[in-house]
Amino acid sequence: MEHKIHGTVMQALEITLAQGESVFTESGGMAWMTDGIDMKTSGKGGLGAMIGRKLAGESMFMTTYTCTSPQGMITFTPESPGKIIPLNLKAGHSMIAQKDAFMCAESSVALEMHFRRKLGSGLFGGEGFILQKLTGPGTAFVEIAGEVQMVELQAGQRLKVDPGHIAMYEPTCSYDIEMVKGVMNIFMGGEGLFLATITGPGRVWLQTMPLSNLAAKLRQYISTSS
């Protein structure tokens, strides 16, 4: 499997498959493809996996595209302006991503829901208790809203973040929530009551424009009158 990412703000992922190779995505995730690619939609993994995917922001049914000709091309496009990030996952290696980040992956990659264990992290962590967990072997692609900055944390190094800006992190990082200190900071600071703390070692991917922030801004310009 080979891939190219085209564009800047509204990117497109073009995947070239050899005969017998396949990728899967959520229902409706494909934009265009050439002849010679077979499409099969199923509940991939059974009822438990279907419910887990729904809770993690994806569709219950997944579609697998398999190349039946010597070579085929298929293109996927993101749901919002941002970046497409390829993940080359080794066997047993995982990545934790925000809800609805999954775009597509080789059939060997496992997509599961991931629970935040601490109550505070789940209630106030920006995306709730449930995230997405992608486990190799294989190549997977995630879509992240806005521009993306990767930060590599050393062991014990901490990063404080507005929770909605955390797009993805390695499982070696620990995630927690702390309350903003100071009455004026809480009521007049404009950053909310809580900040996320990510502690290394590991890499963290941050997004400049969480969809929740964009939606909140757009609501100011949408009339609610009947």
ω into residue 201 within 30 of 0, thus cis? yes
Side-chain-side CA neighbours of 150 within 13 Å: the count stands at: 7
102: tokens are: 């999954």
pLDDT score at 72: 97
User: Reduced to 3 DSSP states, what percent helix, strand and coil does the chain have, rounded to the nearest 5?
Assistant: 15, 50, 35
DSSP single-letter state for residue 37: E
DSSP single-letter state for residue 206: E
Residue range 143-187, pLDDT digits in tens: 999 999 999 999 999 999 887 899 999 999 998 877 666 444 444
pLDDT of 17 strictly over 50: yes
Instruction: Check residues 51 and 5 and name the one with the higher pLDDT.
Output: 5
DSSP single-letter state for residue 51: H
pLDDT score at 224: 57
Question: Is the CATH number 3.10.20.30 carried by domain 2-219?
Answer: no
pLDDT score at 3: 97
Instruction: Check residues 138 and 41 and name the one with the higher pLDDT.
Output: 138
Confidence (pTM): 0.81
pLDDT of 36 strictly over 50: yes
Residue range 58-67, pLDDT digits in tens: 566 789 999 9
pLDDT score at 207: 94
pLDDT score at 26: 82
- CA dist 165 and 93 (Å) reads 23
